Structure 1
């Protein structure tokens, strides 16, 4: 069994849709007080563009996502 943790940062786009930015193996125990300025900094970079639209214009939410995989038949080596 393997468990992975991802930090999922959700932003609103310039056209009102939601976009996610996922970070693998994040530091545990992050708080909203730590994440809010970091997400604001990502928005301030204005470094991303998807189909001519800035995908990160406002903070929507953030959460940890845990995924557990249980192999029933192991992969052949």
Structure 2
């Protein structure tokens, strides 16, 4: 198996919908103050809006590491049925 870890920064947009930013290959050992400051910088940048003008990252909800493991059983390109 090949585990992969990402960092998810969780937000709520101006319409109340959950949003997230996913960071591949994050640094290990990030702390609550560090990730909180990162979310506040994103919110404070005022750069991310939908086509309708809704703020995509209006409120920080949290940050978490997510580890996913994949194990391929078969691949249609290489599998030869008997």
- Do both proteins adopt the same fold according to a TM-score greater than 0.5, normalized to the shorter chain? yes
Does residue 59 (structure 1) correspond to residue 54 (structure 2)? The answer is: no
Q: What CA deviation, in whole Å up to 9, does each residue of 1:16-62 have, x standing for no partner?
A: 22111100110011010111111100111111112321110111011
Structure 1 spans left out of the alignment, 5+ residues: none
Which TM-score applies when normalising by structure 1?
0.89
Kept after mapping to 1: 8 A contact 2:43/2:59:
yes
Which residue does the alignment assign to 2:21? 21
Which residue does the alignment assign to 1:71? 72
In the alignment of these two chains, the number of paired residues is 76
SS in 1 for 2:36: helix
Which TM-score applies when normalising by structure 2?
0.84
In our comparison, the structure showing a higher alpha carbon Rg is 2
Structure 1 stretches of at least 4 aligned residues deviating more than 6 Å after TM superposition: none
Looking at structure 2, the residues matched to 16 and 72 of structure 1 have their Cα atoms a distance apart, in angstroms, of 39
CA RMSD of aligned residues (A): 1.3
